[in-house]
Amino acid sequence: MRLRKRWIKVMLAALLGFSLVLPANAEERAVIDETRNCSLTIYKYDRTKAADEGVEKRFSATGEADPEAEHCYAAYAMPGVEFSCLRIGEADIRTSAEAVSGSARVEVLYGLDESVKEQITRAGILSLQDIEYTRDGCSYVSSDTLTGGLTRSFSERPTATRDILESYVRRSGQKQCSVTDERGRAFLSDLTPGLYLVAETEVPEDVVSTVEPFLVSLPATNRGGDEWIYDVTVYPKNRTGSPELAKEVAEISGEEEEAGNYGTSASASEGDRLSYRITSRMPTITSASTYLTEYTFLDSLSGGISYCKGDVSLAWYGADGDLKEVWRQTEDSALFTVAYEKQEDGGEAMRIALTRSGLSAVNHVFSDGKVEITYQARFNSDKSAICGDLGNPNRVELTWRRTNQDFYDTLQETCRVYTYGLALEKRFQTGEGDFEAVRFRLRNRTDGYYVTAREEERGCYYVTGAALEAEGATEFSPDFEGKFRIFGLEEDSYELRETKTAEGYLLLKEAIHLSITAEEDGREWTGAASVNGEAMEMIPWEGSEHALASVLVVNQPGYRIPLTGDDGMFFLPVAGLTAGAFTLILLLQIRKKRSEKETE
């Protein structure tokens, strides 16, 4: 009789294990070897990526290995996922009288100790009414109660249920864990037969949703229902994904100092203030195992641009798109830090990192939300600025980690600030003239100011700012070859006026109308120029194919007015005296003839 009871106990335990992992249709044909330990093998694949690439194969929940599936998904193996399991109970046989028929009712119940019962109850899986009986400090419940309660709880409050169960397994000193390798395989061995709670307790950065914690009874029966499986293999489902990242720039203008339209490119001149916007779509956070443990932005500016320090702000939006909070650099230092660094190429960098408090706030509120980081910078027109269509690249790199600190990933985005220049060559028609005497003045017609500049060397100027009146404008003069260059001009319309030229030559009658434009092709700009309405190609400069608007100014000699003492002024009095003498002689001859007639 004792042997028969033992046989029934083993059979019903097998049925429960099979019902949690397999269809409940196996028939007991062997007795469990209670001295033998069990193992659990778990394969983790990036099923999201596989589905995106058209790879799809259904896994059968048999508890047995599926070599075909493993081969099919080998390219999508996910290393770095920690699976932990905790033995939470063992089967017991209860015999009672069937209420209706009066027949003996024999069933399997699982005994949960007090700590397990508390956590299962907190997760909403179990209630006091579900407990069949209590004995020796254990509460006994049916398998239907556990599986049904687990399904219901995940349906009603999936995040809370995940958090409670994952946290419980993670904190338990009795848990066993294994991290998936390059094959996506985790292996847990030396497991005593019983009921186990299995959960993902650490994940790499690209896992956005952990597997729902599940129950498995070890050992389980095979597909044919005639043998025990001591080494069970499961293939849980998962979702993967990454945050999104973008960086944009806009010029700040007007008395209100408001940023214009943000885009991947902008044009700037010396002293212009720029507003940058970094946008990141937050990843999905489903439970404590998928919490972010690092979210850091490393922003960098090229050499011609410098940060306006102290004005960083983070605007947080919920998954519904509504603005929820704004964190400011000077007020919310406990939530994020800002550190400035120098780069090897001479440019500046800024590191924005969420603190532990900031991460906690994000993890609990902003799953699938969005953060917009804004800051300002100033454009500096000097040798460090890149002139032309190569542009000044401004990059941002996002680094994020989840609970597995050994795994992280990065995203990078770039926007560019463009600046251009003017190359002028002066010629004299006769081939001779004093270049040092030549002067030009440049006015920005679009914004109504005169350009001021610093002469770095003879004929080489870098824009320094603007003057409202002509008296404050820089007078540009060519070098000894008649050339000068101005660097740091933004995309605008200009008026170039010659204010002085060499002696003996005529000034230009009118100002030269110059226009610098840029045609955007995707994320790239190509500079173009026109002079007095005529389209002209820009000339290259230091790697940029289109960088400088080129203008050739030719001065014609003036009409010569004879000067005092030269040949022209000598002949004028001679001619006058000759004419006067001729007239006097003529008058004397007329008078002589009149006298002769009167004498006769």
pLDDT of 597: 52
Query: What DSSP assignment string belongs to 12-75?
Result: HHHHHHHHHHS-S-----S---TTS-EEEEEE-B-HHHHHHTT---PPP-SSS--HHHHHHTGG
pLDDT of 593: 56
Query: What DSSP assignment string belongs to 106-142?
Result: EEEEEEE-HHHHHHHHHTTS--GGG--EEETTEEEEE
Tell me the pLDDT band of 561, cut-offs 50, 70 and 90. low
Burial class (CB in 10 A: 0-12, 13-18, 19+), 248: buried
Going from the C-alpha of 34 to that of each of 39, 171, 228, 234, 556, the distances in angstroms are 14, 28, 12, 22, 111
Tell me the pLDDT band of 84, cut-offs 50, 70 and 90. very high
What are the tens digits of pLDDT across the range 269-281?
888 899 999 999 9
What are the tens digits of pLDDT across the range 114-158?
989 999 999 999 988 888 888 888 999 988 899 899 999 998 988
pLDDT of 129: 87
Question: Cβ distance 388 to 405 under 8 Å?
Answer: no
pLDDT of 28: 42
pLDDT of 586 above 60: no
The tokens for 107 are 């069933």
pLDDT of 468 above 80: yes
What are the tens digits of pLDDT across the range 499-519?
999 999 999 989 999 999 988
Distance CA 129, CA 116 (A): 16
Beta-carbon contacts of residue 58 (< 8 Å; ≥ 6 apart)? none
**Closest to 444 in 3D by CA, of 418, 461, 466:** 466
pLDDT of 88: 92
pLDDT of 574 above 50: no
Burial class (CB in 10 A: 0-12, 13-18, 19+), 531: middle
pLDDT of 226: 77
The tokens for 134 are 């209590």
Going from the C-alpha of 511 to that of each of 441, 483, 557, the distances in angstroms are 9, 18, 18
Mean pLDDT, residues 563-591 taken together: 48
**Pairing between strand 348-354 and 294-301?**
antiparallel
Give the three-state DSSP class for 243: coil
Q: How many CB atoms lie within 10 A of CB 53?
A: 11
Tell me the pLDDT band of 17, cut-offs 50, 70 and 90. very low
Question: Cβ distance 494 to 472 under 8 Å?
Answer: no
Q: Which helix (H) or strand (E) holds 365?
A: helix 356-365
Asked which of 13-17, 287-291, 378-382, 398-402 is least confident by mean pLDDT, the reply is 13-17
What are the tens digits of pLDDT across the range 265-314?
999 988 889 999 999 999 988 888 999 999 999 999 998 899 999 999 99
Peptide bond between residue 23 and the one before it cis (omega within 30 degrees of 0) = no
- Global pTM? 0.76
Mean pLDDT, residues 358-364 taken together: 94
Tell me the pLDDT band of 12, cut-offs 50, 70 and 90. very low
pLDDT of 430: 84
What are the tens digits of pLDDT across the range 418-445?
999 999 999 999 888 999 999 999 999 9
Distance CA 189, CA 192 (A): 9
Crossing angle for the helix pair 158-171 and 114-122, to the nearest 10 degrees:
160
Mean pLDDT, residues 247-268 taken together: 82
Give the three-state DSSP class for 545: strand
Tell me the pLDDT band of 577, cut-offs 50, 70 and 90. very low
**Closest to 190 in 3D by CA, of 36, 40, 88, 37:** 37
pLDDT of 514: 96
Distance CA 143, CA 344 (A): 64
Give the whole-number percent of the chain exceeding pLDDT 90.
55
pLDDT of 558: 76
pLDDT of 99: 58
